[in-house]
Structures are given as C-alpha cells and as structure tokens.
Amino acid sequence: MKNIGIIVYPEFQVLGLAICAAFECANHQAGGEAVYAISLLSEHGGPVPSSAGFGVETTAFDERQFDTLIVLGDTIIRSMPPALVDYLRHAHPGTRRVCSVCTGSFALAEAGLLDGRRATTHWFHAKQFQQAYPRVRVEDDRIFINDGEVWTSAGMSAGVDLALALVEKDLGGEIARKVAKQLVLYHRRAGGQSQFSVMQELEPKTDRIQAALTYAKQNLKSDLSVDDLAYAANLSPRQFSRVFHAETGQSPAKAIENLRVESARLMMEAGRHSMDAVATSTGFGDRERMRRAFLRAFGQPPQVIQRANRA
C-alpha cells in the first residue's frame, strides 16, 4: 500500500483535489487490490476551508511516513504557513516523492527542496516564482516536471496529468491509460507539453475569424490558402487578411504554421509516429519543411523534442 499525503491550507484551490480521482481509479484498475491510500493533511487537522467556501476534513501533521506528499496550490500567491514548510523539510528525507500542484511549488521552494532543480508552476506566477527563488531552474512552459524525487506541475488541471504520471511510474502505462480513459481524458498529456494553446493565444474577436481558424484546424492536411480561409470566413481574401491580422496580430500563414507545429508536437507526445507520418498528417508535406517550422517555433528540430518525450 502506497500512502499518499495531500497537504492543504486555508483557502486552497479546491480543483486541486481532482488528483484524488486518478489514484482512486488506479485502485479500481489494479485488479481489486487497493494500491493507494489517500490522507488529507494540514497544520492543525480538522476542517480546512477551501477557496470555494466549504471545508474538508484533515489530519494534523505527525510522524507518519508517506510514500508521496503532494502540496496543493491556490489561485493567488500567499505566504505558506511556517509549520507546513517545516513539515516538508523534515518529512522529505523519508518520503519517496514530494510533489506540488500549481502554486504549491512555492512551498517546496521555501522548504529548499527545489534548489538546483528544474521546476514549473502556473505560467501566470512563473516570473514571480523565479524572482523569489533564483536557485530554482524554472521552466514556465511545461505541464509538469519530474526532477529526481521531486515533481512539480502547472495549473490545477495539470495536477491530474502529474497524478497520472505517478500512476504510470508505479503501475505501468497500460493502467495509466485505463485510468485516463475512465476519467474521460483524451490522453495523458506528457510533461513536456506546453501550457499554452495556439487557438487560445490567437483570441479572434469575431465569429468569422474564429470560423476560419476552426476550419483550418480541422483541415491541416489541406493547403489552406488565404482564399480557402477567406471563403470559410465569408470574406474577400484582401478583407480577410486585413481583419485576421488586426484581430490576431499574425498573418494567416504564420497562424497556420503555428497550428501545424502544435498539432505535430501533440502527435509526437501521443504516440510513436514516424517523422514522415507526422509531417503528412499535419500538412507540412515533408520533414524538411516541418524541421524549419520547429526551429522557428522552438529553436530545436522535431527530433530533439520527440526524443525528450520518449525519454
């Protein structure tokens, strides 16, 4: 039995508790034998209020040993209780894994557990995190990061991806996939996946430009000329180009390239596709064209990113 201790504090973000579902489903998928036992921990024990206004019942910090400790986060940066930080410092040597969800990384950093390590947190707080803890190697564009026995994740939903990765580490990829399916997740997002989405970053202001982008995402294998996109938006090509740039800050060609790069990267993370298959499926046509696009977007060729995902 692996004991999972989930650490909360007043006003913690309640969505972080979603990670419990991954461990609960893993118990169901492991052949009927409970693998994980979950405890909610806090400084004083008893009810702890969440950000949603209701409380959860907890057990006070004590001398129990845990296989995994996970500090939940919040939507704002608040001072972590000194007792929580001291507990992490003292519990860490006897704990196999210490993890954080979202701004829970601030507690790990305050305890000195992230010094010299790679770590992530929610992108909105990453700059403040780096300034407050310069000895941490912050990577603000990652869903989660595993550096030795310390794991950190980005926003609240990314905590579920981290939990699935812990399940995969313990019980194997097949059970992790079954858990993801039971949770109605398309697939477990790899830790190296970006926190950002091209569609979200473009933020079109009108339905016409949104319709063109949706059409593009659904037809990446096609040439996707300006004429095609203008037709989907019900605008003339000249008017479409002008409106598209005004709303997104990008040319149509650049936006389409970014959509293709994002789609290609997701394919690499989701399975062991060949470079030729990825290039064809995402509309690049050939590997060299895809390689140049990846260099522009990430400063690295796709082979480097694919190897990192497989590792």
Query: Which of the residues are catalytic?
Result: 102
Distance CA 221, CA 286 (A): 12
Distance CA 240, CA 251 (A): 10
Q: Between vectors from CA 149 to CA 302 and to CA 83, what angle results, nearest 5°?
A: 130
SS3 content of the chain, % helix, strand, coil (to 5): 50, 15, 35
- Residue spans of alpha helices (H) in the chain: 19-29, 82-91, 105-110, 126-132, 158-171, 173-182, 198-202, 207-218, 226-233, 237-248, 252-270, 275-281, 287-298, 302-310
Q: In this structure, what token pair is assigned to residue 138? A: 């912050």
Residue pair 196/261 in contact (Cβ under 8 Å)? The answer is: no
Q: Residue 236 region, left (φ>0) first, then alpha (ψ -120 to 50), else beta?
A: beta
Distance CA 297, CA 31 (A): 44
Distance CA 12, CA 7 (A): 10
Distance CA 41, CA 267 (A): 38
